[in-house]
Structure 1
């Protein structure tokens, strides 16, 4: 049995809505994918630099955690493309859109964690370490405001019931 139709403010069927939402989601994922792939590619080169051997055990641990987070973010943000490819033509697009949206949300969270860990590592290596915590905290708050705070505020302020 199918779910009851929801009013979307548009005159579109569930399939048309799924098509539109899929297109919008893929455009969003492209932006995030590019960022995470560039960051992940950069991270992969660090271990091959001479300075890597000079890092403290703590910094090497931060680096490894950062690479794992970057790999995980990459997987989550590429996941919607694979999902679409594997379910195309199976008449499950509304369900696929919901799953792809969840994967994208997880990927964005992992990207936030990757960027945070990268910033910690870079600032620990590039500075004497005294302001690392504060600088990272300010940047993470900025990310949270831009990625979650403003969108949630806008959704609450502008959503009609």
Structure 2
């Protein structure tokens, strides 16, 4: 939307923009945080089930990697909250928003990896089908399309210059 004087976008100070971006980022993180915490919680219970003892070595390795990925994803997605608490009131919000955004991006990447590894483990155990890897690859491709490629396409095609 063009404003008087040929300017585009919002009429806000750097601090107002940082406040708005922080609020938007926290809303986005809440969605991902909830999902990763539920998934991580379920992953932690698997080791205590009777079926865990019957997993072969490869499935135990996949499980271990999945739990570590889930823990890392949880840390990265909770990181922006800790960052905000530690720097609140220090007049560094624009930089804090940048770092929180980076942590969120890393957390989403790790969440994708956690979900892929979880799906691989579940489908391997449930089906014993060698085609599982192809199915998981297709799901990962779908995640990449939805989470990265479409947003990058929209960003490139529709960003006002």
Partner of 2:4: none
Partner of 2:3: none
Partner of 1:26: 26
Kindly state the Cα deviation for residue 97 of structure 1 after the two structures are TM-superposed.
0.1
Q: Are 1:137 and 2:137 matched, yes or no? A: yes
Q: C-alpha distance in 2, partners of 1:62/1:8? A: 49
Q: Deviations over 1:107-149 (max 9, x none)?
A: 0000000001001100100002222011101100000000001
Q: Which 5+ residue runs of structure 2 have no aligned equivalent?
A: 1-6
Q: Deviations over 1:77-110 (max 9, x none)?
A: 0000000011000000000000000000000000
SS in 2 for 1:9: coil
Q: C-alpha distance in 2, partners of 1:119/1:86? A: 36
Partner of 1:94: 94
Kindly state the Cα deviation for residue 8 of structure 1 after the two structures are TM-superposed.
6.7
Equivalence map 1:18-97=2 (5 Å): 18-97=18-97
Q: Which 5+ residue runs of structure 1 have no aligned equivalent?
A: 1-6
Q: Deviations over 1:46-80 (max 9, x none)?
A: 00000000000110010000000000000000000
Provide the alpha-carbon RMSD of the alignment.
Answer: 1.0
SS in 1 for 2:44: helix
